[in-house]
Structure 1
Amino acid sequence: MGTLAGHLVPGSALALLGLWHIINTLKSYHLKGPTNFRSSFWYPFLSHVSKLAHMELILIIFFSIFSIIMQVLDYPTFSFTFKLNNFEHATMFLHLLIYSGFTLFTELVNKSDALFEVSGILAASVFGQELFLLYYHSTDHVGLEGHYHWLMQLIVLISLLSSLYVTNSPSSFPSSLLLSISVAFQGFWFINMGFMLWVPEFVPKGCTIRLGHGGDSDMHGAVVCGTHEAFLRARALANLQFSWILGGILIFVGCVSLFFPKKIDLRSQSIEYERLHSRVAEVPLSLVGFKH
């Protein structure tokens, strides 16, 4: 992941996955209502086409395998040199592969409802291992790069806690929506890190990129600030980016949530009309009985 592409590719995948889950979570809640809502760790793609229903899980499996291979081969050098940070990144995708593979298998054998909690624990383990490996990363991220990674850990922590809560309370809409938001947030933050830490044109004023020269002890792509004032300014800019990205995601959530009630109001009104009509039809019968 020590390149722009290494952040851009997984970041884009996570961002799209999170947005996909936000849309489907809101849609499911508005269609089923508060009493019948049930969280899901994946959503079918074109459910009326059986061959494409499990496309999300299949894409996650292939993406995980591809990412593991890229880390083991040490992209872009494509060599089998053993680097701890590469294998740490590959281990994150390994847990993602375990979760998606198990969940897909439960769907194919029609045991997804009975094993929902197991899939939830495996999903939580993805975020747990990600948080663990980010915190104890063999590449010692310090300075500005360390601050970006620390903010990333906050997002992953929210994903971990919300996934555990969804596993325990699948009918909780807020925790399900929070999980979807945090996944999208991870993706966009990965993308932001890639540009801010690996593209010289985006590096904050007063800071420069110090490329490593090999070995696991080097801080590959670490951003070094010339003065303490420049570092404080760059860190403040990272905090603003954190808030801006979150704000953009919340605006998206608000817009999508406002879209669905327009489709449901007509349906709910028709149901209420039918109930009212049936009650009116019953009135004469009750009056007749009263007269007798």
Structure 2
Amino acid sequence: MTRETLIYYLSEHPEIVNFRWSHTQSWGSTWSFLFTSIFTYVFLSLLLHLLLLPRRRPVPLGPIPALHSLFMALISVTIFTGILFSAAAEIRDTRWFWRRTKTTPFQWFLCFPLGTRPSGRVFFWSYIFYLTRFLHTLRTFFAILRRRSLSFFRLFNHSILILMSFLWLEFSQSFQIVGILMTTSIYAVVYGYRFWTAIGLRSACFPFVINCQMALLASNLICHVGVLLLHLKKGGCNGIGAWWINSVLNAAILLLFLNFYVNSHLKERRKNPSPSPEPHDHGAAKGNAVPATVEADLIGRGDTKDKDI
């Protein structure tokens, strides 16, 4: 596939260029669908968790989690590439207007001009990103079937991420381009790593997933500050009301994550006050001889060194 063909199918196809977020034309675009889907996700997760309480052994899932990780890694790369090409095309097509408003491409990435409508290339990929949030929740059911603990953080995090991606589209919220670029790049790496370990290859000797989550949250915090500064400087960014809600929800996720991060490290130190890796410890982490396949199966548990992202 040539570069021109790739650009066409990722940013110039009529379905992408003419996309419009509409309650009548876009699947999953209504408020009733949003709250119903979140309620259904939480209800089914709790129900499955209660039904499996008497069962001691995990339900065998075979290659399903690995295939899910591979698919999520590929779709994350596709969304990242698509929105990057689409943003470049939007900059090319609207540069004449930005010169009149003294807006730079960097400012546009963080701060949409007032009156921006949820239509066109960028919002097409934002819509695809919104839909993949539902695929992302499948990890909760994998975790329950594997007899891992069902944490409040997992349910809250996935539910809030669905809500925030909906708000991006509903209110043409500023910051979403950068948010999607950062999130999909991290997701591509994390899900690629999960697929790598799920097929039995060597895992990292440090909490890889939790460090990726920390990097994503820190980047989000910096970008939110940038949006606020541009909003005050330029006299307004589009969708700033939804941005405030987004900021509060991100702050809640950050506090919950930091609480887990601190507690997990304290627990790790109590268990291993003086770690000393053995020379023959292939793929072990911090002195614990855990094979790569076993460690990969533990990723996402609240009592291990990695946290679901």
Into which bin does the TM-score normalised by the smaller protein fall? 0.3 to 0.5
Q: Which has the larger radius of gyration?
A: 1
Q: Larger % of helix: which?
A: 1
TM-score (norm 1): 0.36
